[in-house]
């Protein structure tokens, strides 16, 4: 099978039939072998009934229904597990992604040998204040922390080699960072393609401004995991040693200063009346806790290494 088209959705009953007809027309005109996997993320409208009707009419249509709303990442993960096509396409169900882009995306994966191609909606039809401007800030931060020179990390229209989707774990709200997850898994041939963005035809967006706050928090998480996920002692241990060192130096200075003044009969105060004593004490306590956090992290990782699965691209002399 050449193509798996994965479409997560939530309450998109108005657009599903039109989207299916559009995709089927593109697939048939290009003579692709394909499957369309709709993932109903807990819709409360007639979306699942429409998917069921489409599946009865066309065997290439498949559906997964969640018993409640779990989120786009979980929907994509479920689709990735079931995808059988050599090239996997993801797109949104709201008709803002254009299926006419699929053949070019397919060729970039199949013929140009890219691992992942991310869509770039250069010209958008969204609100400037609520979507466009926050999106630009979010993408700039993602480029800076990930090193990937993509303009639109969160574009729903993407193409993947099958091997990519089978070896990345999309969870939480990490669907925004699938290119980063792919890069961290060792897939480095990542590019972008400018795609058309269409104004929403039916309904309204399911996402609010809170998604950008969550997005930046997730970005910090994925940056931390990519930098220190395999070596937590390098961060926590270094911070712990540094803080303990400064605390110890400060405490030593306070103690020696007290002894010096006592020996020379100079006026002095109790060590416990010196605010720097408590600062030094706090630094040493927190430094010790950071060091222990890094040490425990290393122990947890070591206990899991025997079960860890590694992604191997090539072998020689091994059956």
Tokens of 163: 């091997």
Whether the model pTM is above 0.95: no
* 42 contacts: CB under 8 Å, gap ≥ 6: 10, 66, 67, 68, 69, 70
Which alpha helices (H) appear in the chain, and where do they start and end? 16-29, 47-57, 72-82, 102-110, 133-146, 162-165, 178-184, 210-228, 232, 238-263, 275-304
Residues 47, 63 contacting (CB under 8 angstroms): no
* 45 contacts: CB under 8 Å, gap ≥ 6: 11, 12, 13
Task: Count the Cβ atoms, other than its own, within 10 Å of residue 197.
Answer: 19
Residues 37, 63 contacting (CB under 8 angstroms): yes
* 217 contacts: CB under 8 Å, gap ≥ 6: none
Q: What is the dihedral of CA 117, 119, 122, 128, to 10 degrees?
A: -140
- Residues of the chain falling short of pLDDT 70: 124-134, 199-201, 203-216, 218, 222, 225-226, 229, 301-319
Distance CA 239, CA 290 (A): 7
Residues 46, 77 contacting (CB under 8 angstroms): no
* 261 contacts: CB under 8 Å, gap ≥ 6: 267, 268
For 118-165, the DSSP string reads EEE--S--S-IIIIIHHHHHHHHHHHHHH----S-TT-S-EEEEHHHH
Distance CA 80, CA 61 (A): 15
Q: Kindly state the DSSP code that residue 186 receives in the 8-state scheme.
A: T
State the pLDDT at residue 171. 77
């Amino acid at each position: 099978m050449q193509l798996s088209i994965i479409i997560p959705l939530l309450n998109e009953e108005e657009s599903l039939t039109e989207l299916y007809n559009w995709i089927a027309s593109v697939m048939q005109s290009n003579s692709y072998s394909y499957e369309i996997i709709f993932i109903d993320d807990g819709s409360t409208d007639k979306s699942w009934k429409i998917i069921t009707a489409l599946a009865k009419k066309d065997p290439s249509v498949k559906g997964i229904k969640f018993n409640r709303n779990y989120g786009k990442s979980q929907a994509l993960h479920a689709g990735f597990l079931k995808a059988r096509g050599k090239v996997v396409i993801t797109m949104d169900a709201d008709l803002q992604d254009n299926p006419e882009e699929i053949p070019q995306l397919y060729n970039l994966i199949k013929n140009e040998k890219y691992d992942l191609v991310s869509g770039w909606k250069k010209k958008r039809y969204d609100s400037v204040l609520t979507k466009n401007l926050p999106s630009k800030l979010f993408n700039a931060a993602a480029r800076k922390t990930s090193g990937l020179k993509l303009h639109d990390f969160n574009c729903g229209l993407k193409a993947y080699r099958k091997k990519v989707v089978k070896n990345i774990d999309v969870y939480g709200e990490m669907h925004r960072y699938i290119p980063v997850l792919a890069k961290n898994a060792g897939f480095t041939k990542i590019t972008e393609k400018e795609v058309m963005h269409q104004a929403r035809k039916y309904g309204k967006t399911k996402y609010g401004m809170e998604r950008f706050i969550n997005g930046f928090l997730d970005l910090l998480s994925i940056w931390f995991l990519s930098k220190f996920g395999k070596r937590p002692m390098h961060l926590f241990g270094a911070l712990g040693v540094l803080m303990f060192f400064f605390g110890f130096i400060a405490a030593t200075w306070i103690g020696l200063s007290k002894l010096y003044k006592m020996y020379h009969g100079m006026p002095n105060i109790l060590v416990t009346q010196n605010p720097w004593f408590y600062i030094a004490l706090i630094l040493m306590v927190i430094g010790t806790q950071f060091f222990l956090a890094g040490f425990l992290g290393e122990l947890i990782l070591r206990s899991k290494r025997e079960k860890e699965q590694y992604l191997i691209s090539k072998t020689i002399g091994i059956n």
